[in-house]
Structure 1
C-alpha cells in the first residue's frame, strides 16, 4: 500500500470526485455533485452541478466555491476524469503551483477518501447543506475528531444540540484555546498515522508487491471490461498478454492495449 503525502494543516491537500446520474433537483435541475474532501480534517464540500460540465465549468466552480474559502491548495488527488486531465485544468494548476495526482484505473489503493464520502451522499440537492453540516460535526474514525474541530477549533451549534445535553461545548474564547487546538491537531495527526499503519498492514498481508519491468508481458483481469465479446459467464477472466510500456510509481503500470481495448485507459494497478 502506497502512502500519500500527509498534510500539515487544513486545506493543504484535498480529494475530489464526482457523483453523477442523480435525479434532477432544484431550480437549475442539478443532476450531479462535485465532492471535495479535505485530507487533513476530512471536512467535505458538496457542490451541486451538471454532469455535462466541461473543464472551464469545473475550474470556475472550484475557484468560486472552494478557493475563496480555503485559499490556494498544494495538492489535489482525483481520478482520471477528462474534466481534470484537460489542458485547461493542467495550466490552471501550473499557474498556482498546485500538483494534481491521479488515482489509477478502477480506484485502487492510491486513494479512496472521496469515494468513501460519496457512499454517504444519498440526497443530491435538497439536503446538501444539512448533510454537509452534519458531516462536519461528526467524529471520524481516522482522526478521532470532527472536521469542524480540526479546522476551526469548535463545533457549529446544530438545531438538535438543545436536546443533546451530553455534548460538551468547546469555547473558542477560553484562554487555553490555542493550546487546546494544537493538542487536538497533534492527536489527530497521530490517529491518522495509526489508521494508515493499520490499513497498510492489512493491505500488505494480502497483496504482494510485484517486481514489474518495462518490456515485461502481463495479463489483465477482465472484471471491469464490459466490451469483451462473448457471453459474460464464459468469457476468460484474464486478457493478454500485453507489453508494459511504462511504470507509474510502485503500484501502477502502463501497457500496450490491443485494438479491441483501445477505449480503455492504459494504466492499471
Structure 2
C-alpha cells in the first residue's frame, strides 16, 4: 500500500492510493485528496478494499506518517491485521516486487500526464486495463487470478455506423479512446522499465536543494521558438532547484512563475547540473530561455453573443466578447 502524490489537482483530489495484492499483483487505484488524513485513508480503504475483499491479514507500507500514527496502528490492532513497514528508499522486497512497484508508478504518472485534468474521471479505465494484462511470469492476468475467469474483451464489437443511438455510439467511442490511452501509457511504462533493466541502470537520485536541468517540454514552446531549427534549440533549461522527492521516480521542481505547467517531473526528464568551471558566464542564463510560455492575460469587457457547437464527442459553448 502506498501513495502516489504530486499530481495535478482536480477539486480536492491530488493523489492516488495504490493497494496491490501481494500474490496476484491485482492493483486498486483510489483517487484521494492532495492532503489526505489517516482517517480519510481508512474510510477509502474500507470502501474500496475491505468491502470487496475483506480485511487483509498483513498490510505492507512504507513509514509514511499516516501508517505509523496512533489512529492507523490502533485501528488495525483492533481488527487484527498485521502492519509491516518498509522504507520507501530501501524496500525490503524481492527484485520482482520492486520492479513491479516502479513500473506501476511509471504507468500511473504517464496516465495522469496524458489525461491531465481528466485523470480522476478516467482512473477506473486505468485500473481495469492494468489488471487485464497478462503477466510474463504467470501467463495470466491479475483479474483472472483473482476471479478465476478471463475478462471479456475491451474492444468494440458493433460497427459505429450501425448503432441507432448516438449517445450509445458516443459512449462507446469515448470508452475506446480511454482504453487506448491506458494501453499507450502502460506500454510506455513497460518500455521505460525494460530500457533501464536492459542497461542494468538505476534511476539517478536527487535530494532537496540539488540543482538540475529540466528537459524542455516541446508542446509548450512559443510560436517563435517553433520556427527555429530544433537542432539548435536548447534541449534542457536550468539550473533549477529540487523542492522535494515525490514517490520513487518523480521530483517537484521550483519553476519560474510563467511556466504554466505542472511542476512534478519524472526523473528521466532531469539531469544533474554541472557548473562550468572554465567559463562562469555559461552558468548564468544567456537569454530568457524559460520565458517560453509567458503570456499576457486578457480580460473581456463584455459578452456580446454565444453559440453551442456539437461534435461526436461533446458540445462546446463559444463566446463572442469585446
Please, what TM-score do these two structures have when normalized by structure 1? 0.52
Q: Cα gap change, 1:49/1:160 in structure 2, threshold over 3 Å: closer, same or farther? A: same
User: How far apart, in 2, do the equivalents of 1:65 and 1:22 lie?
Assistant: 20
CA shift for structure 1 position 29: 4.0
- Gap runs ≥5 in structure 2: 113-118, 159-204, 213-322
* Structure 1 residues 88 and 141: alpha-carbon distance in aligned structure 2, compared to 1, 3 A threshold: same
**1:47 to 2:34 alignment:** no
Q: 1:73 to 1:105 in 2, by over 3 A?
A: closer
Higher RCO (CA < 8 A, seq sep 6+): 1
| TM alignment of 1:58-97, pairs within 5 A | 58-97=41-80
Higher helix share: 2
1:17–1:114 CA contact under 8 A, matched in 2: no
Aligned equivalent of 1:13: none
1:133 aligns with 2:136: no
How much has 1:224 moved relative to structure 2?
5.7
Q: 1:39 to 1:162 in 2, by over 3 A?
A: farther
Displacement after TM superposition at 1:100 (Å):
1.1
In the alignment, does 2:16 pair up with 1:21?
Answer: no
Gaps of 5+ in 1: 1-15, 164-222, 234-269
Q: Shift of the alpha carbon at 1:159? A: 3.1
Match of 2:104 among 117, 127, 131: 117
Q: Report how far residue 116 of structure 1 moved.
A: 3.2
Q: CA RMSD in A?
A: 2.5
Retained in 1: the 8 A contact 2:144–2:151? no
- 3-state DSSP class of the match of 1:125? helix
Structure 2 Cα separation of the partners of residues 154 and 105 of structure 1 = 34
Q: Which one has the largest radius of gyration?
A: 2
Equivalent pair of 2:27/2:127 in contact (CA under 8 Å): yes
